[in-house]
Each structure stands twice: as structure tokens, then as C-alpha cells.
Structure 1
Amino acid sequence: MIALGSLVLLTACGGVGAAGAQPTVTATTTVTATQTSTVPATSAPPPSAARPSAQAGVVPNVVGLNHQLAQDTMQAAGFYFLTEEDATGQGRLLINDRNWVVVSQQPAGGTHATPDTKIILRSKKIGE
């Protein structure tokens, strides 16, 4: 943004005096320009940088882990397309993932898959 300021000072000297005397006029103009720019402090990485490229990786075996840790493990390995199911067939929602344990997964642990592979984690409440 450019800010311009100007100051004009007009001073008339002299007065009504002798005939033929001309008043003296002095004019001073001062112009000051400043330019500022704003640079964002940080910027978010592009969406493509948030996920790895489509290279195949090994699906971790998360059977026996609590559901939250299983999800964290999958994401750390580069798998983000995760779905979950109640393994008992009751159709319950896994609200508190730490209260559930993974009893099966598809594809199985050790399978080579691309990061866009759908991973199904079937879990039941701990103690069931």
C-alpha cells in the first residue's frame, strides 16, 4: 500500500503598502511515499504433500490393538482410507475408539497395497 502525504504551505508576505508593491508568495510542497508489503508468516503445505505418493507399501498387522492405536498405526504407514465395523454384527458405532479392540482386518497384515487401498478394521468392545 502506498501512502502519500502532502503538505502545502502558502505564506503571503507583504501587505497593502506603497503603490505598486507586490505581495511575496512562498509555496512549499513535501511528498512522502512509503510502501509496505505483507508476507504470510506460514502457509499450509499443498494437499498433495499431506499424503505420500501412490507407491505400494506393506499393510501393518493391527489385530489385537485397541482401535485408536490401530488407526494411528495405519496412518503412520501411509494408509488413510480406513473404515470400521462392529465385529459382533450389532451395527454399533465405534464412538470411543480406545474402548474397542481390532479382531480382524482386510486386507491382512503383511499385504502389499497402495495408499488408496480401502482398509476395513473390524472391532469389538474390550471384554466382549
Structure 2
Amino acid sequence: MLKFVVGVALAAVATSCGPSQIGTTPSPGAPPATSTSPLIHHWAMPNLVGSGLQDAQDAIQKLTGNEIFFSGSHDVSGKGRHQILDRDWKVCSQNIAAGTQIQAGVKIDFGVVKLAEQCP
């Protein structure tokens, strides 16, 4: 009797599931199940002039959810120094104006001087 009950239960489940969708093609004009085009995010570039370099970098990462993770910087004093410890530098200029729409892949560059120095 138990075999009969289990067999009837399995038959009921199999018939209630309907036909398999594996290998079927969507009807003409139907939207695809997944999109192949990535969602492109845009953000307004903040004004980071006057910020510490590390704070400016952190602000871009936070704004974009790390979609823009790296930014560049260069010494605007004319001395050609490298920014080894970002916390020792302040932002004098940025290559993208505040309010400009940015997206992943954009090259952000900050013009910087040492904290104790004046911006040119």
C-alpha cells in the first residue's frame, strides 16, 4: 500500500509542474531574460580643492561605491615630487570641474602641494 501512495504522490507532482522550459526559445518580440548591456552609473564630480589628498581620494571612492577607485595626482609646486604619503598633501586643483558628470573609467587627477605650502 505504501508503494501505491508514494507512486500516486510522485505522479501528481510530476503532472502539476507543467512542461519543461529547458531548451525553449522566447516568442518573437519578447524581451531577453538577461541584458548584455551593463548599467552605467554617473555621478557629479565634487569640489575637492582644499581637501587633503587622502580625503579627496576617499570621497571619490565613497561617492562611486569604489567604481572609481584610483585617482592620480601631481605636484603643482614645480618641484616634481612624488606623493608617497597622501595624507601629507592637499588638493590645489582637479582636472574635472565640480558638477561635471563622471563615470567609471574616467581619469581623475589632482594637482597637489605639501600641507604646509600655499597653492600656486
TM-score range, shorter chain: 0.5 to 0.7
Asked if 1:89 corresponds to 2:78, the answer is yes
**Structure with the bigger percentage of strand:** 1
CA distance in 2, matches of 1:117, 1:82: 9
Give CA-to-partner distance per residue, 1:38-63, whole Å, 9 cap, x none: xxxxxxxxxxxxxxx53211111111
Asked if 1:118 corresponds to 2:107, the answer is yes
* Map of 1:68 onto structure 2: 54
Kept in 2, the 8 Å contact 1:54–1:116? The answer is: no
* Map of 2:97 onto structure 1: 108
Return the offset for 1:109. 1.5
Kept in 2, the 8 Å contact 1:80–1:116? The answer is: no
Mapping 1:1-128, distance limit 5 Å: 53-78=39-64, 79-128=68-117
In structure 1, runs of 5+ residues without a counterpart are 1-52
How many residue pairs are counted as aligned between the two chains? 77
CA distance in 2, matches of 1:122, 1:109: 14
**Structure with the bigger percentage of helix:** 2
Q: Say what the alpha-carbon RMSD is for the aligned residues.
A: 1.7
Say which one has the larger Rg.
1
- State the percentage of identical aligned residues: 37
Give CA-to-partner distance per residue, 1:87-107, whole Å, 9 cap, x none: 112111111111110000010
In structure 2, runs of 5+ residues without a counterpart are 1-38
Change in CA separation of 1:81 and 1:99 when aligned onto 2, cut-off 3 Å: closer
Q: TM-score, normalised by structure 1?
A: 0.55
Kept in 2, the 8 Å contact 1:62–1:70? The answer is: yes
Q: Look up the SS of the partner of 2:110 in the other structure.
A: strand
- Runs of 4 or more consecutive aligned structure 1 residues displaced over 2 Å after TM superposition: none
Q: Which has the higher contact order (CA 8 A, sep 6+)?
A: 2
Q: TM-score, normalised by structure 2?
A: 0.59
